[in-house]
Amino acid sequence: MPLSNDERDELRATARALLGRESSPEQVRATVADAPGYDRALWDHMVELGWTSMHVAEEHGGAGCGYGDLAVVAHELGRAITPSPFLASAALATGALALADNERLAGELLASLATGESVGSVALAATDGSYDQARLTTGWQSSGGSVRLDGASAFVLDADLADVLVVAARDQDGVVAALAVDRSAPGVRVDRTATVDETRRVFTVSFDDVDVDADRMLCEPGSRASELLDEVLAIGVIVVACDATGAAEQALEHATEYAKTREQFGKPIGSFQAVKHHCADMAIAVEASRAATRGAMDDLDGDAESWLTTAAITSSYVGPACSDACARALLVHGGIGFTWEHGSHLYLKRVKLDEVLFGTPSWHRRRLADAVFPALVAS
Amino acid sequence: MWQSPDTLVSPIMFEPGGPLEELRDGVREWCAAHVPKDWREQQRGATHQELVEFMEWWGAQLREAGLLAPHWPKEWGGGFSVREQVVIAEELARGDGPRNGLYHVGVFNVAPTLVHSGTQEQRERYLPAIWGGEVWCQGYSEPNAGSDLAGLQTRAVRDGENYVVNGQKVWTSWAKEADRCMLLARTDPDVPKHKGISCLIVDMHAPGIEVRPIRQAWGPADFNEVFFDDVIVPVDNLIGPENRGWAVASGTLAAERAVVILEAAERLRCNGIEAAIAEAAATRLEGGEPALEDSAVRELLASCYAEVQVLRRVLNEMIDDILRGADVSGTSSIIKVLYSDLLHRFTRELTALHGVAGQLDGPVLACAGWETGFWMNDYIHSFGWLIGGGTNEILRNVIGERMLGLPR
């Protein structure tokens, strides 16, 4: 059952309180400074609060809420710039398996993802960061009753924590497959890739003649797998846009607070229009991004046919708008905003990664054009 | 002379309270039957008089169908819920109905103000007149009171049962055609500026009023300067209490404004961005390739398409907030900035895309808002949206101060 508006407010308050206690900017800095780079105890609390199971169907041990509800959590995690496997596991791997036609596989994996017993992630990008399925750099081929994987996928979130990876691969004829792969299987290797945003843990996953049971396919290879992987990508784009919106909202609040209290020329700097207009532009970006992401997450609870378009619209607007907002927040702080010690850069870096993590706005605009222009030209 | 089409079907009168989808289908069919397919061709280069005649004709069509003022109370010819108003506005925009400029101030600004702040007698007198086609203008800005509107200097001095009005207004749209004006004038010069303003109904045919057209940067002259020289206004024409005109003028019109801008956004989507996408398929770039196959053009048009969809989401959320009774004054400023910035960017980029052909000029289409039929003129026209209704700079102050609580 989707949450009512009051229940969403309650969820938001709970999330904000928990993250206020356990994911303050100081705590985030301390967490990312040392291995493993995320707070295991906080993750356990998130699991206890049901954040990994809320949008899992009741038959798989979840609460049966919607993506519209998950949006509340994603937004709050962005506000708190929390490093956690939530995006990888609760949103992406869980989302992918919920879409799978292979119900036995979905049932088995979703139950343990929902309880937090296991963690999942998805490997959808080529080594150059492209999400174009024609350019996948992980290959598959059938070999008897199993599938062999070779190659590598990049920009995989929290791959070292994952028990299961949903992997996009293509065979030599270009046929795409979606497979659930044990991260501990022989031949699977994960290597951390340093990113400027330290609040996200990004890995390259390599496959060296990895043997996977053919019944670990999420669906039939080919057009159905291709469609499913696009749907997972859409989930990624939209959830990460919620994250960016939350981070930009927090950056706006910090900048506004600073503009009210910092004085120069005998006045709060927020009384100067140059500063005030930066703040107003941030408020415009945040308000529009909030409306865009809330609507897009609700779309994820509807027919998947609209997802590609919705994701492309979201990517086109939200990432750039939130990045611009976080950049302005840094500027409002002046010199202090340019220091490592001050937090402004943390929000900007998080949102800049969010903007491109599941494909650049530019690429999504081209996909949007391919999806919607033909009908407009014909009409 | 405007030629009305002879294909009119028998009139329908839309009624509030039915299923939304029936209303949507009904208005869609009504538009298909009543919006002349060739109104753009007919109106291109129309004289001012022809434009006025066309708007009168279009206003009559809307009136007959019960669609002229859906947001008014039921007893005056409206009674449609906010959701129904949204459906009507969307379908009129999608059905390419002409913009209802001539009656806009009366229908969308004056009537709701009278409903909120007027006397019953004023409502009984003026609402039926506006419904019947009376044209109103709005006397707000002055040469020395633009962004600082509350600094206005036009005086209304009480003399027995009348006020005597002296002063000058500017940027007054449709003042030449207007029968009446909703005027802001200073009735008490000795109190802080917001507290000495009153809102008056002025007969535009009264002695002492002179209207001088001002030509806009995009060509036509449908706004004006208005001079008031000892104009007599009966005290009964005061809207709301004396010296409370500032509150009366900035009253609770959020829902009406939301629907107006929603209609504008729908027009930008359908007649602007989506039409430009279709047009780009048939336009060739300098190198000879179809514009729509060029990756930069595709990306530009897709980003405008995405942004107008985001704007629709923001508008829909604002309408939900209005229905919940939330304060949307900040959001309405945000929406005006979003809409006008998008319109401005879109017309600027499309002008650039058309190269030197985008600079062509000819007889403009004056009754389609920013869609003049010539890209460079559309771009010039878009500045009107950045400036009118509170400049975007002032609105950014409003957002900073009222939404974010920044100091003045």
What domains are there in chain A, each with its CATH number?
5-118 (1.10.540.10), 122-220 (2.40.110.10), 224-378 (1.20.140.10)
The verdict on A297 touching B (C-beta cutoff 8 Å) is no
The verdict on A277 touching B (C-beta cutoff 8 Å) is yes
Residue B369: per-residue pLDDT: 80
Which residue of chain A has the CA closest to B395? A280
Q: Tell me the C-alpha distance between B84 and B93, whole Å.
A: 14
Whether B256 sits among the annotated catalytic residues: the reply is yes
Enter the DSSP assignment of B75.
G
For the segment A239-247, the average pLDDT, to the nearest whole number, is 98
A71-83: pLDDT as tens digits: 999 999 999 999 9
Q: Which residues of A touch B283 (CB under 8 A)?
A: none
Residue A63: per-residue pLDDT: 92
pTM for the model: 0.94
CATH class of B254-403: mainly alpha
Q: Which residues of B touch A252 (CB under 8 A)?
A: 404
| Crossing angle of helices A361-378 and B295-324, rounded to 10° | 90
Give the residue among B82, B48, B69, B200 at the shortest CA–CA distance from B129: B69
Q: Which two tokens stand for residue A278?
A: 């930066």
Q: Tell me the C-alpha distance between A166 and A109, whole Å.
A: 11
Beta partners for residue B259, in sequence order: none
Residue burial B160-176, b: 16+ Cβ < 10 Å; e: rest: eebbbbbbbbbbbbbbb
Nearest to B302 among A273, A295, A369 (CB): A369
Please list the ranges in chain B whose pLDDT falls under 70. 1-12, 251-254
Radius of gyration of chain B (CA): 22
Give the residue among A54, A79, A48 at the shortest CA–CA distance from A68: A54
SS3 A243: helix
Whether residue B144 contacts residue B193, with contact meaning beta carbons closer than 8 Å, is answered with: no
Asked if the Cβ–Cβ distance from B406 to A287 is below 8 Å, we say no
Substitution target in B299, B323, B331 with the highest count of A β-carbons within 10 Å is: B299
CATH class of B136-244: mainly beta
Residue B7: per-residue pLDDT: 46
Substitution target in B271, B283, B313, B408 with the highest count of A β-carbons within 10 Å is: B313
Tally helices (H) and strands (E) across chain B: 14, 8
Q: Where are the alpha helices (DSSP H) in A80-135?
A: 94-99, 103-115
Q: Which residues of A touch B316 (CB under 8 A)?
A: 291, 295
Q: Tell me the C-alpha distance between B217 and B384, whole Å.
A: 9
A211-225: pLDDT as tens digits: 999 999 999 999 999
Q: Where are the domains of chain B?
A: 20-100, 136-244, 254-403
SS3 A330: helix
SS3 B132: coil
| Crossing angle of helices B254-267 and B82-94, rounded to 10° | 20
Beta partners for residue A120, in sequence order: A164
For the segment A41-55, the average pLDDT, to the nearest whole number, is 96
Q: Which two tokens stand for residue B137?
A: 């203008």
Q: What is the mean pLDDT of chain A?
A: 97
Catalytic residue, from B90, B91, B177, B256: name it. Answer: B256
Q: Which two tokens stand for residue A23?
A: 């994911």
Least confident of A34-43, A107-116, B113-122, B359-368: B359-368
Enter the DSSP assignment of A325.
H
Query: What is the percent of chain B where pLDDT is above 70?
Result: 96
